Structure 1
């Protein structure tokens, strides 16, 4: 496989954007007309008054991931994808909306819409996760099992976080957790190694590339801050196969437990650039099912990805343009850990469709 085989989920700053999507919709019903809906719904809470940090800070490591094939209790429920994400484009879109980008590659509005609850944009969960599940069954369960084994995690370290219910601003840093070497205890003592790809200085664990300098807490909900221009790649390893998702226009929010030592409900949202993801999936599919590389099977799958595009790369809509990106929403929970040592650089393995193994010339 083409990504970090040693790391089940690694997150690192990317200059190239990867995207993903799939096919099918489980709910043809249109939401209420946009003029009847408050489009401020489906957004994370706004910041409160200035209140500087007064605590030692906490590093939260994701312990469960929800990709859209299950609800937040881990149960397979139709339409679970609707609860993950945010209303990125500020619209509550349906099959009759007229102010949206044009569906791509011959798709129709009914192939892409309606949105999820309160205008949540998540074509990844609606369209792509079923496609991933057809190749790699039970993706949310498999990726969470890998975390429970200590194979990987994603870490958000919120500096200055203390006991108060609201802060503004707080600096937060994002890390990729490398292999722990054992199953985590989740009692706050786990020292999780971090991948060097996410550091400006591979010798300094505090030199995170992905920083949210204007994050805040409102009524025990942490928010990453204004829409981030940082793009980061989230590598999801499912059954030893890694799928790279580079997310831009990133928005992250997480509801904290009363003691601020764990996350009871978290959301990562943004957009994925379709053309780049198609290249990523070409690699992944070639590793999972090499036989698909032959004939028209691969292009049929990739066409399904293109037709899932529902938004523009900048997170907006433009009715004069074809949609060129796919909205994404992922749920998670997290627990306190300690930052460990810096791991060695990850290795890459695998051969995608169209490439020849090095030992074969």
Structure 2
């Protein structure tokens, strides 16, 4: 079991300093795989019906520090304000602002620092993004092949899809046929050709995990109050608790890292679309500097005190319902970018 040691230097006392407390960094991880057990079912597709970005808890209530429960311990450390083995903060950011982790070493600077920034432009982001899903505007779909009634499987192949506009509000009874966007397919004519595939995913005690580790990158497009925010997440790892009847999912988590330079350009276009006046003057630069200062990790998910942080950890919560894959939707229409060019869609 991986452990990390934390110690606090005391002063004003001649008493011996107690030994440092041992922190269990496995607490911030999903369960590991069980023994081999091949899939024996037809498989199930689940569409996200609610997203929790960190401004609320999993009940949708605005509770301070809710971000601490979303994500995984990506860097294998339990970090605090006095940690010295992490990458260097950016642009004068205080270590005490970006270093502290959530529960069990959870890394989620996005939820800690950036969701509140997004909320100043688009209020109540978790509520609004879930409202958009409830309207049928978009979703994210995970199709777990071979999933049957047993509580554990290893391995199962799973595929991730972007759900296009449904055209109506979903009924969430398993009959919704949700069309998928072609941008996340290798072949725009073949719905089985998903770009984002988890070949080593597994289920243990009805908890599905995307795999022991991941090098997968995908762009999560979130629609909030009619505005789409693109989050290109590297080293994606996902876990979720599947109900025994396979109709729904709770306690879902999407975790990974956002390369800071890419995120800055993605947000540049969003901010300009919401407030075009930001494209001129210091307002845009000031806001994007806040984004850069949220960097807390390296883009490969590691830490190195000799390097400047160049990525932002992210953790998002979700619930999901059983759906069916629909048809392949037409390609999305592109629109102008008010404050600079958006980065290419990496799929």
Indicate the SS of the match to 1:36.
strand
Q: CA deviation at 1:35?
A: 5.2
Q: Are 1:53 and 1:167, in contact at CA under 8 Å, matched by a contact in 2?
A: yes
Match of 2:250 in 1: 264
1:200-256: CA deviation from partner (whole Å, max 9, x where unpaired) = 111111111111000000000000003221210001111111111000111100011
Q: CA deviation at 1:301?
A: 0.5
Indicate the SS of the match to 2:97.
helix
Q: Is the aligned partner of 1:342 residue 2:325?
A: no
Equivalent residue in structure 2 for 1:293, among 260, 279, 296: 279
Q: Is the aligned partner of 1:330 residue 2:316?
A: yes
For the residues of structure 1 that align with 2:258 and 2:41, how far apart are their CA atoms? Answer: 35
1:274-295: CA deviation from partner (whole Å, max 9, x where unpaired) = 0111111111111000111121
Superposition pairs of residues 74-85 of structure 1, within 5 angstroms: 74-85=60-71
Equivalent residue in structure 2 for 1:241, among 216, 227, 246: 227
TM-score computed with the length of structure 2 as normaliser: 0.92
Equivalent residue in structure 2 for 1:151, among 121, 129, 137: 137
Superposition pairs of residues 64-79 of structure 1, within 5 angstroms: 64-79=50-65
Moved >6 Å (runs of 4+): none
For the residues of structure 2 that align with 1:282 and 1:170, how far apart are their CA atoms? Answer: 38
Superposition pairs of residues 1-361 of structure 1, within 5 angstroms: 33=7, 36-354=22-340
Q: CA deviation at 1:32?
A: 6.3
Indicate the SS of the match to 2:285.
helix
Larger Cα-atom Rg: 2
For the residues of structure 1 that align with 2:102 and 2:284, how far apart are their CA atoms? Answer: 29
Q: CA deviation at 1:39?
A: 1.0
Residues 326 and 354 (structure 1), Cα distance of their counterparts in 2 relative to 1, 3 Å cut: closer
Q: CA deviation at 1:351?
A: 2.9
How many residue pairs are counted as aligned between the two chains?
325
Q: CA deviation at 1:49?
A: 0.2
For the residues of structure 2 that align with 1:248 and 1:69, how far apart are their CA atoms? Answer: 22
Q: Are 2:23 and 2:78, in contact at CA under 8 Å, matched by a contact in 1?
A: yes
State which drifts further: 339-348 or 35-44: 35-44
Indicate the SS of the match to 2:118.
helix
State which drifts further: 345-354 or 42-51: 345-354
For the residues of structure 1 that align with 2:90 and 2:320, how far apart are their CA atoms? Answer: 36
State which drifts further: 106-115 or 85-94: 106-115
State which drifts further: 137-146 or 234-243: 234-243
CA RMSD after TM alignment = 1.3
Unaligned runs of 5+ in 1: 1-30, 356-361
Q: Are 1:287 and 1:350, in contact at CA under 8 Å, matched by a contact in 2?
A: no
Q: Are 1:268 and 1:329, in contact at CA under 8 Å, matched by a contact in 2?
A: yes
1:115-143: CA deviation from partner (whole Å, max 9, x where unpaired) = 00000000000000000000000000000
1:57-100: CA deviation from partner (whole Å, max 9, x where unpaired) = 00000000000000000000000000000000000101101100
Indicate the SS of the match to 2:127.
helix
For the residues of structure 1 that align with 2:305 and 2:278, how far apart are their CA atoms? Answer: 35
